[in-house]
Structures are given as C-alpha cells and as structure tokens.
C-alpha cells in the first residue's frame, strides 16, 4: 500500500495554483466594499452639499464669506456674523479648556495618588458622555440662570473696562455658549494631554529634580516643553469639536443674526443658525444655509487635519484612539 502523499489520489492534494478560493474572494470583496462605502460617503457628502449649496454660491458670490448681512426676507445672505460667533465661542473654549485640561492633567499625573487620580479621571471622562441636548437643557435652566443672577454681574463688575465685556448678562447669549463649550470640550483635550504628559520619561524628571528643582520647576522645565506639541494637538482637536457643536449652542446662544457687540449679547454660530433656521427655510434661504454647512465642513476638516498631524507627531506616529 502506498504511504505518504505520493499515494494520495490527485484530486485530494491541496491545490497549489494561485487562484483565489471562493471564500477568499468573497472575503476580499466584502471588506473592500466596506472601505469603498466609506470613501463613497465622504465624496458624497462633499458633493451633495456643494450641489445643494450651488444656487446660493452663484447668487451670493464670494462676499458670502465675509458679509455680515443675513436677511432671508430680502434674500441677502452672508455668513460673516456666524463665523464671528463661531470664532469667539470656539476660541474662548479652546483657551480655557486647554488651560484647565493641562492643569488637571498635571494634577492627575504629578500630584494625585492613584486612589484620587482614577476616580477624578473617570469623572471628567463622563462629561464626554453627556449628550449635547442635555448640556443645552442644563445650560438654559441652571447655568444660564446662574450667569444672569450671579456670575455675569461679577464679570461685569470686574471686567467692564475691557471693550467687549460691557453688557447685561442674560440667560442666553455668547457668554453662556462660551462656558458650555468649554465644559464640553474639556474631556476631549484632557484625554490626549494626560497621556502626553504621563509619557514624559522619568529620566527627564529625575534629571532636573536632582539639581534641586521644586515640583513646579520640574514641570515647567521638562514636562511642559516635552508635552507641548501633543497638548497643542489635543487642544486643536477640542477646537474642531467646539466648532461643530450644534444643539447645546443653539439652546443657549440666543440666536440673533446681528453681530454681537458685547460678550453677553445673543448671537449665532454656523452650526446653530442651520439648526435654528433650516426647518422653516425655503429655496435660496435653504441653499444659503447649506452653503454655511459646506463652509463649516471645510473649516472642521482643516482643523482636524492639523490636529491629527500634531498628535501623531508627538506619539511617534502611533495611533491613539480617543473616545469622542
């Protein structure tokens, strides 16, 4: 009796040719389809928005981008005022959320013992889990009232000499939007900055401590310079989130097409004007709003790319998956 492969009948031997087996073919096709769908969706989004916005683009021309006149009844449209609103609220949130995020990250990494660090860390993460609408609801009925009755007047008392800061605090307005956005992007910035700060090697810290540095001096001389670009990337990620934030802002910003003249005035951001006006909009108005969405998309896209580049540079090209 023949033993070994020589004895096996020909058709039992595994095929050595290179053609894909049906299972593999299907597998490749399905996974490739998954990737293809994703690409199609992205292209689709840009195309679709451009398509719907086209009437407005041709009607309003380039001045759409800087004009602050937005008057649907006269079919005059310009996104300028909304860009201002978006910029003020997002940059305010960017600055303050970054400062707080860095300080809290330093607290968690340098000071807090692990039985404090872990729960605090988790609690801040929870902030990210709260939906935008709930922030909005809380923003109107709790934070807004607090601003109108307590916080706002204090700010006015101390800062009214600053040009933009002289106004009457209300429940809604630019300031409320600034505050709510700061809280909302805080976990985004903190997630990355905490990892970046914790990644500073021990040898660096020991080196400066051995010279007789205080803890803050150590942080300032070794941790912060080392973590600088990562923190910057994290904060720009937060900026991207703030720019696109819709419902919380819509609920607290007061919704006015006028360019705000003080920090407590009502205003619009690009996202909130869409949410607020789209349901009732028709024809050119609708098209103009979609043009706003297109511009918003482009801005968000650019900010995201910059942020990712910075974060990747610091983590050495490795991926950090952040729960957004």
Partner 1 sequence: MAQNNPLLARTQGLYRRRKLVDRLMTAAMIGAALAAVIPLFLILFYLLKEGLPGLSLDLITQEPNRPGREGGGVHNALIGSLIMVSMALAIGVPVAIGCGIFLSEFGQNRLGGYVRFVIEVMAGIPSITVGLFVYGLVVVNQGHFSAIAGSLALAIILVPIIARITEEMMLLVPRSVREASYALGAPRWRTVLRIVFPTALPGVLTGIMLALSRICGEAAPLLFTALGNQFYTTDITAPMDSLPRRIYLYATGPYDYWHEQAWAMSLILVTVILVISLSVRALFGSRVTVRQ
Partner 2 sequence: MTNLQVEKKPTLSSISNVTVPESTQRRENAPVSDAPVAISAQHVSAFYGSKQAVTDISMEIRRNSVTALIGPSGCGKSTYIRTFNRMHEFAPNARVEGKILLEGDDIYAPGVDATRVRQRIGMVFQKPNPFPTMSIEENVAAGLRFIGMKSRSEIKDRVEHSLKLAALWEEVKSDLKKPGIALSGGQQQRLCIARTIAVEPEVVLMDEPCSALDPIATLKIEDLMRSLAEQFTIVIVTHNMQQAARVSDHTAFMLTDEHISGQLVEYGPTQELFTTPKDKRTEDYISGRFG
Question: Of residues 72-111, which lie at the interface with partner 1 (CB under 8 A)?
Answer: 99-101, 103-104, 106-108, 110-111
By CB under 8 A, the residues from 171 to 210 that bind partner 1 are 183, 186, 190-191, 195
* Distances 302 to 104, 145, 214, 308 between C-alpha atoms, Å: 28, 36, 40, 10
Contact by Cβ (8 Å): 262, 164: yes
What is the closest distance, in whole angstroms, from the C-beta atom of residue 110 to partner 2 in the complex?
11
Nearest to 189 by CA among 95, 111, 118: 95
Distance CA 41, CA 55 (A): 23
Distance CA 277, CA 121 (A): 38
Q: Which is nearer to partner 2, 91 or 224 (CB)?
A: 224
* Distances 271 to 17, 72, 175, 282 between C-alpha atoms, Å: 57, 17, 17, 18
**Could you say which of partner 1, partner 2, none residue 129 binds, taking C-beta under 5 to 8 angstroms by partner kind?**
partner 1
Q: Which is nearer to partner 2, 115 or 161 (CB)?
A: 115
**Could you say which of partner 1, partner 2, none residue 227 binds, taking C-beta under 5 to 8 angstroms by partner kind?**
none
Q: Which is nearer to partner 2, 204 or 256 (CB)?
A: 204
What is the closest distance, in whole angstroms, from the C-beta atom of residue 234 to partner 2 in the complex?
18
Place of tokens 């080392």: 226
User: Which window, 45-53, 69-77, 156-164, 259-267, contacts partner 1 (CB under 8 A)?
Assistant: 45-53
Of 11, 19, 202, 319, the one binding partner 1 (CB under 8 A) is 319
Does 34 participate in binding partner 1 (rule CB under 8 A)? yes
Distance CA 238, CA 194 (A): 14
Does 149 participate in binding partner 1 (rule CB under 8 A)? no
**Could you say which of partner 1, partner 2, none residue 206 binds, taking C-beta under 5 to 8 angstroms by partner kind?**
partner 2
**Could you say which of partner 1, partner 2, none residue 209 binds, taking C-beta under 5 to 8 angstroms by partner kind?**
partner 2
Does 211 participate in binding partner 1 (rule CB under 8 A)? no
Residues whose CB falls within 8 Å of the CB of residue 193, separated by 6 or more in sequence, listed in order: 98, 101, 102, 105, 227, 230, 231, 234, 235
Residues whose CB falls within 8 Å of the CB of residue 128, separated by 6 or more in sequence, listed in order: 187, 188, 191, 323, 324
Does 170 participate in binding partner 1 (rule CB under 8 A)? no
Residue 61 backbone class (left: φ over 0; alpha: ψ -120 to 50; beta: rest)? left
**Could you say which of partner 1, partner 2, none residue 204 binds, taking C-beta under 5 to 8 angstroms by partner kind?**
partner 2
Does 219 participate in binding partner 1 (rule CB under 8 A)? yes
Q: Buried b / exposed e across 212-221, counting CB within 10 Å, b at 16+?
A: ebeeeebbeb
The CA angle 257-258-261, to the nearest 5 degrees, is 145
Of 66, 141, 158, 159, the one binding partner 1 (CB under 8 A) is 141
Does 150 participate in binding partner 1 (rule CB under 8 A)? no
Of 78, 244, 260, 266, the one binding partner 1 (CB under 8 A) is 244
Does 155 participate in binding partner 1 (rule CB under 8 A)? no
Nearest to 309 by CA among 239, 243, 238, 229: 229
What is the closest distance, in whole angstroms, from the C-beta atom of residue 164 to partner 1 in the complex?
23
β-partners of residue 76 are 71
What is the closest distance, in whole angstroms, from the C-beta atom of residue 186 to partner 1 in the complex?
6
């Amino acid at each position: 009796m023949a033993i070994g492969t020589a004895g096996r009948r020909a058709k039992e031997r595994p095929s050595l040719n290179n053609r894909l087996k049906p299972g593999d073919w299907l597998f490749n096709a399905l996974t490739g389809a998954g990737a293809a769908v994703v690409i199609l969706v992205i292209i689709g989004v840009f195309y679709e928005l451009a398509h719907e916005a086209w009437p407005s683009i041709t009607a309003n021309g380039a001045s759409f981008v800087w004009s602050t006149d937005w008057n649907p009844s006269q079919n005059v449209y310009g996104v300028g005022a909304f860009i201002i609103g978006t910029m003020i609220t997002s940059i305010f949130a960017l600055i303050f959320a970054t400062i707080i995020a860095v300080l809290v990250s330093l607290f968690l990494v340098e000071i807090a013992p692990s039985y404090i660090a872990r729960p605090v860390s988790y609690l801040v993460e929870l902030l990210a889990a709260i939906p935008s609408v709930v922030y909005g609801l809380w923003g109107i009925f709790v934070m807004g009232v607090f601003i109108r009755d307590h916080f706002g007047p204090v700010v006015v008392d101390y800062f009214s000499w600053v040009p933009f800061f002289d106004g009457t605090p209300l429940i809604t307005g630019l300031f409320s939007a600034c505050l709510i956005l700061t809280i909302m992007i805080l976990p985004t910035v903190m997630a990355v900055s905490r990892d970046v700060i914790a990644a500073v090697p021990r040898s660096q810290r020991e080196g400066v401590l051995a010279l007789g540095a205080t803890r803050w001096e150590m942080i300032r001389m070794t941790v912060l310079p080392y973590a600088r670009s990562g923190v910057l990337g994290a904060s720009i990620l937060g900026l991207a989130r703030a720019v696109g934030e819709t419902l919380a802002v819509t609920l607290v910003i007061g919704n006015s097409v006028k360019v705000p003249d003080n920090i407590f005035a009502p205003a619009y951001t690009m996202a909130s004007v869409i949410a607020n006006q789209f349901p009732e909009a028709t024809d050119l108005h609708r098209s103009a709003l979609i043009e706003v969405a297109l511009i918003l998309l482009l801005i968000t896209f650019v900010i995201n790319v910059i942020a990712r580049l910075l974060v990747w540079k610091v983590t050495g090209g490795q991926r950090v998956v952040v729960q957004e």
